[in-house]
Amino acid sequence: MAKPISASLVLCESVLIEKTGIVSAIRILTSVNIPLSVNSIRFYALTFLTSPPHDTELHVLRTLMIEERADGWNAIATAPDQTFHYGYAVDQHGPGGFYLSTEFTIDVTKLATSGIFFVQAWLDGERVAQTPITLRPERD
């Protein structure tokens, strides 16, 4: 299968999808301060993929949040796999496109530590995008 021309991943507080199909990431996040009284946080991962022209294969996109540890990495949250074909609505002979909005709700009481975590996008079993997010408890 062909690799995407580009793959990007943006974390945000919410996603707006207009009737025209235009997508907006609202309040882009790189870190979250977690009040001590809060047990969970919610955010969205917005993944954009662009394919070479004429890619008609069926693809599988997996989005997950991980923490890196000395003994490897640990999945904090995993979204269900999304199967798709690239869309060619703009130009039937140009690059194809696909986007996915994934909601994550993280129980912060189950995290071993605060710090830097990563949200990753895996296309057909290969990591194509990754972005960090820092989670830190607020101090009184």
- In a domain, residue 13? The reply is yes
- In a domain, residue 66? The reply is yes
Q: What is the pLDDT of residues 2-21, one digit of tens each?
A: 789 999 999 999 999 889 88
- In a domain, residue 1? The reply is no
Q: What is the pLDDT of residues 84-126, one digit of tens each?
A: 999 988 788 899 999 999 999 999 888 877 789 999 999 999 9
The boundaries of the domain holding residue 33 are 6-137
> Could you tell me the CATH number of the domain that includes residue 11?
2.60.40.10
- In a domain, residue 38? The reply is yes
Q: For residue 110, give the 3-state DSSP assignment.
A: helix
Closest CA to 39 of 136, 118, 119, 107: 107
Count of domains for the chain: 1
- In a domain, residue 95? The reply is yes
Give the predicted TM-score (pTM) of the model: 0.90
- In a domain, residue 88? The reply is yes
